[in-house]
Structure 1
Amino acid sequence: MKRNKALMVQILLRLEENEKSQILINREDEPEMIDTLYFHVKLLGEAGYVTYDRVFADNKLKVFWARLTNKGYDYLEQVEAEQEDTSKLAEAKGLLTKGTQWTMTNIVSPIIVEYTNSLIFPSK
C-alpha cells in the first residue's frame, strides 16, 4: 500500500475536530476503508503524531482507535502558522464536517490534495 499524505492530514484534522481528540473506527462502519485508515494511523504513530490501539478477531482487524498527541497538536499548529493562506486549511476542515463517513470523495477531494501539496512543496 502506498502512503497517502492527503489522507494522513485528513486523519489529523479529524482527530483535532473531535472533542476528545480521538477517533474509533469499526470494521462494521468502515468495511472498505478500515485497513487503509489503520495503515495510515500506524504511519502517523511512527512519526509520533498519534497513539493508537487495535483489536483483532479471526485474524482480521475489527476495531482501532487513535488519539492525537501533543506532537500532533504542535504539527497542526505549525502548519497553520506557516500557511500563508489559512483559508485552505479552513476549507479542508469544513470539508471534513460535511460527511460522517470516510469516502473516496473526501480522500481525493481537490482541496485536501491542494492543501497537502502546499505543505509538501511550499512556494518560495
Structure 2
Amino acid sequence: MSNLPRRAMTILSVLGLAMVTVTGPAQAAASSSAIVNTNGTRAAEAWFNRSNGTHANKAWFDVYDAKCDANDVYVEYAINGDPDPDQKYNSGGCGTTKGFNLQTGRFAISYRVCVDDAGYNTCSAWKGDNN
C-alpha cells in the first residue's frame, strides 16, 4: 500500500509533463496581442503571430471581432517605422476571426486594433514587436 501514493505521484508527474508539452507550442504561436474595449467590454483583439521556426520567418495577424455591435474591426500596422500605416479589416461580424499574412523575413512592427465605430474610431494603444 505504501507504493500507491508514490505511483500516483509518478502518474501525475507524467501527466503534468504531457500537458506542458501539449500546450507549449499552442501558446508560442502568438507573439503579442492588443485588445480594445468599448463601453467597458472587449470589442476586438489582434494577435501578431511570428514563425516558430517552421514557417520560414512568416508572420501574420489574426483579428477577432468580440462584440455583437455591427461594427467592423481592424488592425492598423506599420512595418519598420513606415510613416503610412496599413489597415486590414475583419468585416465578418461578431465572433469571427480573420487572418492576414504579412511579409516574410526580419522586421519590426508597430500595431493596434480598432473598432470602426461612429465618428472617431476606438483603438487600443500601439504595441511593438518583431519577426
Task: Tell me whether the two structures share a fold, i.e. TM-score over 0.5.
Answer: no
TM-score, with length taken from structure 1:
0.25
Q: Which structure: greater strand fraction?
A: 2
Q: Which structure: greater helix fraction?
A: 1
Q: Which structure has the larger Rg over C-alpha atoms?
A: 2
TM-score, with length taken from structure 2:
0.24
